[in-house]
Amino acid sequence: MTVNIDGIPVYYSDEGAGDCVLILEGWGTNLSLYAGISKHLSKSHRVITPDLPGFGRTPPPERAWEVKDYVQFIESFSVALGIERAILIGHSHGGRVAIRMAADENVRLRVPKIVLIDSAGIVHKKTPKQKLRLYTYKMGKKVLSSPPVKKLFPDVLEGLRKRMGSEDYRNAVPVMRQTLVNVISEDLREYMPKIKQPTLLIWGDRDTATPIEDAYIMEKLIPDSGLVTIKGAGHYSYLEQPVLVGRVLDSFLGVEQK
């Protein structure tokens, strides 16, 4: 299915009936990776999963976005689909959006509960090695971006980006690269104490992208929150342990076990 949101054709899935659940996907993923959760929850809920701008089949925005722009996008998306109330399930980057939405009292969409799965949103201080790497990249970018060097060596800057950047950064188109820089630089701790909704944290204890330590911080900062640790799972805990995660979600959402 597609819907036009501010000139962007947005692809999404829409399954089931009942109270609405919005699944907000992780960086660089697509809605097919959440088909298992959607299928499971659609037995008791209406489950909608959009490909966020720049992910899956949905084109990227024309300019680089920040987390607040994704919040506004979900607002516009929910209006277009006639959604007034929805439980938010945010994985990784989608967790950032869910945190900002739940903490903002001015958001039109009513959010009764949120689920954060291996969520992003905590920014840690850089180690000396990371600072040196960042400084080296910035200096190299400055030199290689100068008109004379760029003219003589047009492909060198892109090579530097590929060597120095993360896999997500390397795989992204330019506007999404800047978007990634914007969103990963925003520490959302200040918003977490403002979240009044019951919040479920689901985390793989072997997650290296958003480590379990981040979950402990969120559990401490979000007033009405609880953490379920998925033993042996990584950043995609819901894919690695789908049955267990499904049961945990059912319990949190009040679905009767059969």
Instruction: Going residue by residue through the chain, which has 258 residues, state the pLDDT in tens, using 9 for 90 and above.
Output: 999 999 999 999 999 999 999 999 999 999 999 999 999 999 999 999 999 999 999 999 999 999 999 999 999 999 999 999 999 999 999 999 999 999 999 999 999 999 999 999 999 875 555 444 444 434 444 544 556 645 544 555 455 445 545 566 667 788 998 999 899 999 999 999 999 999 999 999 999 999 999 999 999 999 999 999 999 999 999 999 999 999 999 999 999 866
Would 181 be classed as within a structural domain? no
pLDDT at residue number 162: 53
- 111 and 11 fall within a common domain: yes
CB-based contact 245:230 (threshold 8 Å): yes
Residues 30 and 66 in one domain: yes
Residue ending a domain, among 141, 175, 209, is 175
Residue 258 lies inside a defined structural domain of this protein: no
Q: What's the domain count of the chain?
A: 2
Are 197 and 168 in the same domain? no
Same domain, 167 and 147: yes
Within this chain, do residues 106 and 17 fall inside the same structural domain, yes or no? yes
| pTM assigned to the model | 0.85
Q: Which domain holds residue 221?
A: 2-123+186-253
Residue 65 shares a structural domain with residue 147 = no
Residue 180 inside a domain? The answer is no
Cα separation, 100 vs 12, in Å, equals 21
Please identify which residue in the block is written with the tokens 């920040």: 66
Q: 44 lies in a domain?
A: yes
- Spatial CB neighbours of 69, under 8 Å, sequence gap ≥ 6: 61
